[in-house]
Structure 1
């Protein structure tokens, strides 16, 4: 590992650290079933996973948060998801080794996600990572979530690392925007969900990786 620059690594959660799409998509399909609609295949829902309830309800019901039906659907979706947070969710292949290598190199790592703490903390515990992470910042841990940099700056403070010495890894444009605004080196996780809209190669990240283990070459 390159000793010079990196002193801490931060990860987005959904689509970067862990593949949460199966459980989030499962919750959406349960909601569709309750509404008398057929299930949607995983490949349809997967790109919308990083956008959480907003993205999945948009994909599953064709509505936006300003629709009068949205609030009730979102509430029910989150209730369903909370009962099955970590049934099929797993770390991405190679991510476990990455975290172990960071720890062996005494490099603190943490998570900054827009997921609410009521989901983030139980999920991190289920994955066996809660006690290992040096910082866990959820979407409601700060006044404004990503792409605002507040969560990333808070995480760097908790890890006692200068933001300029941190790397932030994410699979959505808002992750790269937040990392840049926080003064961190940014890495696009091209193995993640990547959302819709602008192609990830146009996000302006400092680096793009296609497998978690590639991150080790950037440290």
Structure 2
């Protein structure tokens, strides 16, 4: 059983036609490629944000950005500025360790790993960071919340789940799924499983 990234599955759900097959092939190749931290640019900024919230020590963002690949510095600077802007709008925040678990289908697993555990206005909220340039669609945000609820909700009663579109300055807090969205998750998971099974047989 292969691992499919959280965001790649959201991409798959939102696509139609051949782009779905392209994403399935990408997920297959990614699962068979050794992890290289040198190319995982988003992880660096995620970890800096996590450390910030856990320790309450404001990072030296200028030094962090300066230490990155020059081609990535503009993007990192934009991400940092937008996160800091959102952070200033929030009231007092407390940290808790966010829950993590796997969500499984027949051919793949998704690591459901919200990076931030923040008490926002008295409410424990586990937050997945979305750092892509393209705005998070309503469908992706709802599906992200449903995945987190299914994987983590049973053992974490009283915790809200959310995905934070940093570039759009938008925190999407999950408030429940419609029956149709629940069916869509089942269908899209089966669709991706069927594609991965076919790729496995021809690879």
TM-score over 0.5 (shorter chain)? no
Structure-1-length-normalised TM-score: 0.29
Bigger relative CO (Cα 8 Å, ≥ 6 apart) = 1
Q: TM-score, normalization: structure 2? A: 0.31
- Structure having the larger proportion of residues in strand: 2
Q: Which has the higher helix share?
A: 2
